[in-house]
Amino acid sequence: GENVEQHPSTLSVQEGDSAVIKCTYSDSASNYFPWYKQELGKGPQLIIDIRSNVGEKKDQRIAVTLNKTAKHFSLHITETQPEDSAVYFCAASNVILTGGGNKLTFGTGTQLKVEL
C-alpha cells in the first residue's frame, strides 16, 4: 500500500517568513495530493490540492509543488501570519483506483508555529 512520509514534524518561523513542508510517497500510481490544515480542537480542512498532471498550483499565499519522478510534493506558505499556526497534513491517493472510496493515506503532520 501507499506510504507517505512528512517532514519536519515541527516548524517554527517568524511572522512574514516563508514555511515549507515536504512529503514523499511510495506508490507511483498515486495521482492526487491534498493538503489539510487542522486548527486546535477542530477537524482537518482542505487548503489546497494538486493532481499528478500538474507540477505546481498556487492559491494566494499558498502553493504546492509536485515532482512525480522523485515522488515528493511540498507545501509552501509565504508571508506567514499568526493565523497560519496549525497542524498541516499531506495526503496521497490513487483517484482512479479508489474511485468511490476515500482511501487517502495521510502523512504524520507538521506543527507550524508562526512567532510574532
Footprint of another protein (CB under 8 A): 1, 4, 6, 9, 32, 34, 36, 41-46, 49, 89, 93, 95, 100-109
Residue 14 or 43: the one with the smaller Cβ distance to another protein is: 43
Residue 17 or 39: the one with the smaller Cβ distance to another protein is: 39
Q: How far is the CB of 32 from another protein (least distance, A)?
A: 6
* Cα separation values, 69 from 10, 55, 64, 65, Å: 26, 11, 16, 12
Q: How far is the CB of 114 from another protein (least distance, A)?
A: 22
Q: How far is the CB of 15 from another protein (least distance, A)?
A: 27
CA nearest neighbour of 34 among 113, 105, 114: 105
Residues 48, 60: Cα–Cα separation, whole Å: 11
| 54: number of Cβ within 10 Å | 12
